[in-house]
Chains A and B, each alone.
Chain A
Amino acid sequence: MIMAKRIALAQLTSCWGCDQSLVDLHLTLLEVLPQLEIVYWPAVVDYKLKDLEAMPDESIHIGLVEGSCRTKEDVHLLKLMRKKAKILVAWGSCSCYGGVQGLGNQWELKELLERKFLKADTVEDGRIPEEEMPGFTESVVPNTEIVKFDVPFPGCPPTSENTLEALSALLTGKPYDLPEKTVCDQCPKERKEKSITKFKRAHEGHIDPDKCLLDQGYLCLGFATIGMCGAQCPTVNTPCKGCFGPPPGIKDHGAKIISALGAIADMDPEELEKAFPDPIGSFYFTDYGASYLSKIRDKEREEK
């Protein structure tokens, strides 16, 4: 019998969807469970931070970190996971790129706190919580910029199949490499030479289910997004929002997207620009924290 591998699963600021995707394996989970000795998984079992702190360094074979660092407590847990785990996996797009919460980097922390705790429509007599709080980080950056990771594993969330494949590889000591292909490479829709004269919102017009959504003027980001999910959104006629981030080698998701849009849009520049009232939200759904723009703004903050 193979020796069980000690595994820890930690959650930072996240929606826990990556965990959900793992447990969605249901009975298939039984294929890998016997090979795992779970030593830390607060999402499922009542472990405390001090349990993890008490473990010897590098005593965990595989550590999975879900979520990104919005609080200083997150940073502590992340560094702790790095110390305790031999192989550290950036689990999901939050961990790899900062996640949806990275979109907050367009504003200052103060503005975000005021918006949420004082100015939101539902708030009465609001106050910004400060007591017994770990404190917030100034911005959300990819975890991979805070500690070194061994395996990037994007997805929001990675599919259950992705998770099984990655875990099986890690358990058998095989390398786990990200594919170079894009969502378009996995998509069954018929494509033609692109020339877009008008962009439509997803609810506008009528979608032809056989044809490429982008060709029909819907912003489908499959061309700039790593192909791991099996093109699950376009397959059901929903444009890809790019939630898995770009393929390896592409430094900036949004830059890649506007580069392609410039080439395929047959529109006046002003018209094109008007079609995207929220370019950052549209082009960096889960990875604004990893963008050049966010890095530049972070450097400005440091300067102040």
Chain B
Amino acid sequence: MTATSQEPKTATKSKRKKAKGFEPRIVAFCCNWCSYAGADLAGTSRMQMPPNVRIIRVNCTGRIDPSFILDALNQGADGVLISGCHPGDCHYSTGNLKMQARFALLQKMVESAGLEPERIRLQWASAAEGDVFTEGVKTMVETVKRLGPNPAGESD
């Protein structure tokens, strides 16, 4: 943790910050039964969607441990999007409600830590709602563009 070992890293990082047209890197956890299918539909129906999202498919949003989200931010993701079935529609009945409760606590924790809770977003999108999924991604990308790069971002 010496100052010297940090310098090259900082230099690359601030380059990323200054670079015009910052393109956020967003990790999206999508539940298999709704949102992943929704994202797929958005793709097959050729809806326009910003290319900033890397999708990770999970069986259910109830399977997403809050530590996955924090780990992603710690590894430099500029934002984390969680997309699942609408309340009442979860394939495992209440996984999404558990996620919703965890999300409320997580956002509060992130805020208390002095970080930006807007970097995490929770949305519902069914398998038929390619458009809702796409809109969610767009909103997220805009929000994160406004916030700028995750200051914890690793340069690569």
Chain A interfacial positions (CB closer than 8 Å to B): 106-107, 145-146, 251-252, 254-256, 258-259, 261-263, 265, 267, 269-270, 272-273, 276, 278-280, 283, 291-297, 299-300, 302-304
Contact = CB atoms under 8 A, between A and B. Distances in A.
9 contacts: A146-B1, A256-B67, A259-B67, A263-B98, A279-B109, A280-B112, A293-B113, A295-B152, A296-B73
B137 to A, nearest CB: 23
A258 B105 contact: yes
Nearest to B6: A302
DSSP class of B's interface residues: helix, strand, loop or mixed? helix
A279 B70 contact: no
Contact of B109 (A251, A254, A269): A254
B65 interface: yes
Contacts of A279: 105, 108-109, 112
A255 B66 contact: yes
Nearest to B150: A296
Contact of A293 (B6, B13, B70): B70
A138 to B, nearest CB: 10
B114 A107 contact: yes
Contacts of A303: 10, 13-14, 151-152
B69 to A, nearest CB: 8
A259 B102 contact: yes
B148 to A, nearest CB: 11
Interface of B: 1, 6, 10, 13-14, 62, 65-67, 70-71, 73-74, 98-110, 112-115, 151-152
Contacts of A255: 65-67, 70, 106
Contacts of B10: 302-303
Contacts of B6: 302
Contacts of B73: 292, 296
Contacts of A107: 114
A106 B101 contact: no
B83 to A, nearest CB: 17
A304 B113 CA distance: 17
Contact of A258 (B62, B71, B109, B113): B109
A184 B107 CA distance: 27
Which 10 pairs, one residue from A and one from B, show the smallest C-beta to C-beta distance? Answer: A262-B102, A292-B70, A269-B104, A255-B67, A299-B152, A262-B101, A293-B113, A300-B151, A255-B66, A258-B105
Interface centre among A258, A263, A300 (most CB of B within 10 A): A258
Contact of B108 (A262, A273, A304): A273
Contact of A297 (B14, B71, B102, B114): B114
Contacts of B151: 299-300, 303-304
Contacts of A294: 113
Given A263-B98, A267-B101, A296 B66 contact: no
Contacts of B115: 293, 296-297, 300
B66 A259 contact: yes
Given A252-B70, A258-B105, 13 more contacts: A107-B114, A251-B67, A252-B66, A255-B106, A259-B65, A259-B66, A263-B62, A270-B104, A273-B108, A279-B112, A292-B70, A292-B74, A299-B152
Nearest to A258: B105
A272 B104 CA distance: 8
Contacts of B62: 263
A283 B109 contact: yes
Given A107-B114, A262-B99, A276 B105 contact: yes
Contacts of A251: 67, 71
Nearest to B106: A258
B12 to A, nearest CB: 11
Contacts of A256: 65, 67
B71 A292 contact: yes
A9 to B, nearest CB: 25
A291 B73 CA distance: 12
A145 B1 CA distance: 9
Contacts of B65: 255-256, 259
A265 B97 CA distance: 10
